Structure 1
Amino acid sequence: MQVQAMALAAQRHRQAERNRIDAALKWIDSGDYGWCVRCGEEIEAKRLDHAPATAMCLTCAKEG
C-alpha cells in the first residue's frame, strides 16, 4: 500500500511538472515568458535558469 501511494505521488508530481512546462511553452509563444503573472515585472534570469516554468518573480512568490 505504501509503495502504491508513493508511486501515485510521484506520478502526480510528474504531471504537475508537465503542466508547468506546457504553461511555460504557451507563455513563450505569447511573448509573455519571463514576465511575472502577478506584478508584471521581469522575472530574474537566474530564477528562470533554475526553474524555467516559473510564473512569478521571487518577490511575488515569497508573498504567496
Structure 2
Amino acid sequence: MTTSTDVTVVRGGAYTKEEDNRILELYEIYSTENNKWKLIASELKRGHKSVRERYV
C-alpha cells in the first residue's frame, strides 16, 4: 500500500518559458553529474525523460 508521502507529483502539459530557462540554468549546475536529468526533473516536478527531450 502507498501513502500520500510515497507519491511524487509530476507536472504535465506544455513547458513554460520559465521552465525552459530553468532547465538551462540547472543543466549548467548539474552537467557533470551522471544522473543530471533526474536531478533537474526533480526540481521541476517533471519526468526525467521529458526534461531531457525538451533540452535536446
The answer to which structure has the higher helix fraction is 1
Normalised to the residue count of structure 2, the TM-score between the two structures is 0.34
Quick one: higher RCO (CA 8 Å, sep 6+), 1 or 2?
2
Output the TM-score relative to the length of structure 1. 0.32
Which entry has the higher C-alpha Rg, 1 or 2?
1
